[in-house]
């Protein structure tokens, strides 16, 4: 038995050939199809394989409804957005369905901070019906309210957003109601920032959501791209105070969390490797922690004992301003958790998918 962990595909409404959408960051449908075909054929045909989609697989936040990006996401809006994501990527739908057509293959979808829409049961039903088909719906599972997905052998999988105040989801109040209207998602501040600050300038600066760390870029942009950065900073301040104070009662926004967000924005967000090491130090049963969220693929050994931290990175373009990984990269990275050895502890490794070598590849953007 093996388990494959990928994260942060950020699949939105798609980009038809010959057209351009600045709101779609995933253009690698064929690579994903080849990846799943490889791990469901040949030597893997008869091996049970679980594909763990570790958060931010879909990105409905970047899908417009009526030419707007609403921050009030009801059940109906969530269904429309996710439907547009699936319609825009038929190759991915086909490869998921083909993967699940084998009785020894399954998918586990872990909710991230960009795909809270999957918390709606109707959205889960939609995904089951389209991705799995009528006869294989039991082969796709959703983990919404569980902070960790603990696997045999002491391996823990989680997206990682819960360790950042600005992207932390309130599982106890995931849905809120405004003035007797239909319930809507209680979006974290990071999602509001994307909707109200970044997306309005993404048409001018399509790379804006692909830069990490963003705080470093924004500091530079205040000097080099002031006409865009300054209004964005003013909008960020307005919506921050609006959501953290004026709407605090509706969103259960605590003052402690508000200060945590300000501290992270002003200083630095927590390093997920340090969080993982603390987690493993507190629980000696853990042998590995696998995360995503940060878009920075890496593997690190926990020095005090034989345990590791893996970050599966992203399958989208990454514009890194980190000096240790400076540049523009597109790496199809994933973690493989291998239980085929007789040892009680599985092998947890980080890989990069290159796919079948081809003389050319069609560009769709």
**Distance (Å, whole) CA 14 – CA 29:** 10
Any residues with CB less than 8 A from the CB of 280 and at least 6 apart, and which? Answer: 286, 287, 289, 302, 305, 307, 309
| Edge-to-edge order in the sheet of strand 211-212 | 211-212, 318-320, 327-329
Q: What integer pLDDT is reported at residue 257 of this predicted model?
A: 56
Tokens standing for 92? 């991915």
| DSSP H or E segment with residue 31 | helix 29-38
Contacts of 283-287 with CB under 8 Å at 24 or more apart are: 285/154, 286/154, 286/155, 286/156, 287/153, 287/154, 287/155, 287/345, 287/346, 287/348
Q: What integer pLDDT is reported at residue 262 of this predicted model?
A: 53
Q: What integer pLDDT is reported at residue 256 of this predicted model?
A: 55
E-strand stretches of 160-250: 175-176, 184-185, 211-212
Q: What integer pLDDT is reported at residue 326 of this predicted model?
A: 85
Question: Contact, 311 vs 296, CB < 8 A?
Answer: yes
**Domain coordinates of the chain in residue numbers?**
2-353
Q: What integer pLDDT is reported at residue 267 of this predicted model?
A: 46
User: pTM value?
Assistant: 0.90
Cα separations in angstroms, 196 against 67, 79, 162, 243, 300:
14, 21, 21, 11, 36
Q: What integer pLDDT is reported at residue 268 of this predicted model?
A: 55
Ranges of the chain with pLDDT below 70 = 17, 179-180, 239, 242-269, 304, 364-365
Question: Contact, 311 vs 272, CB < 8 A?
Answer: yes
């Amino acid at each position: 038995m093996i388990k494959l962990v990928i994260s942060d595909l950020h699949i939105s409404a798609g980009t038809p050939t010959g057209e351009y959408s600045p709101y779609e960051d995933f253009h690698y449908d064929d690579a994903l199809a080849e990846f799943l075909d490889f791990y469901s054929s040949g030597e893997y045909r008869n091996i049970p394989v679980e594909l763990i989609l570790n958060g931010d697989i879909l990105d409905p936040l970047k899908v417009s409804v009526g030419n707007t990006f609403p921050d009030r996401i009801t059940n109906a809006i969530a269904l429309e957005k996710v439907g547009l994501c699936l319609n825009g990527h038929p190759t991915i739908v086909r490869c998921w369905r083909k993967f699940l057509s084998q009785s020894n293959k399954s998918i586990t979808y872990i909710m991230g901070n960009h795909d809270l829409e999957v918390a709606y049961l109707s959205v889960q039903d939609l995904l089951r019906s389209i991705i799995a088909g009528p006869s294989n719906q039991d082969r796709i599972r959703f983990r919404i309210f569980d902070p960790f997905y603990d696997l045999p052998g002491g391996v823990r999988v989680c997206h990682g957003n819960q360790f950042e105040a600005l992207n932390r989801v309130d599982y106890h109040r995931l849905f809120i109601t405004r003035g007797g209207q239909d319930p809507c998602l209680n979006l974290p501040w990071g999602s509001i920032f994307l909707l109200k600050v970044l997306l309005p300038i993404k048409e001018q600066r399509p790379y804006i959501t692909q830069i990490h760390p963003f705080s470093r870029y924004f500091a530079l942009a205040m000097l080099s791209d002031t006409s865009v950065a300054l209004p964005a900073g003013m909008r960020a301040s307005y919506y921050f105070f609006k959501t953290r104070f004026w709407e605090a009662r509706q969103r259960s926004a605590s003052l402690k969390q508000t200060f945590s967000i300000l501290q992270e924005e002003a200083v630095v967000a927590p390093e997920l490797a340090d969080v993982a090491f603390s987690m493993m130090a507190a629980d000696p049963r853990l042998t590995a922690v696998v995360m995503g969220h940060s878009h920075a693929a890496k593997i690190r050994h926990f020095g005090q004992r034989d345990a590791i931290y893996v970050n599966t990175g992203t399958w989208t373009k990454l514009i890194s301003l980190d000096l240790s990984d400076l540049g523009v990269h597109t790496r199809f990275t994933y973690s493989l958790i291998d239980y085929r050895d007789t040892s009680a502890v599985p092998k947890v490794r980080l890989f990069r998918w290159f796919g079948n070598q081809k003389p050319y590849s069609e560009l769709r953007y």
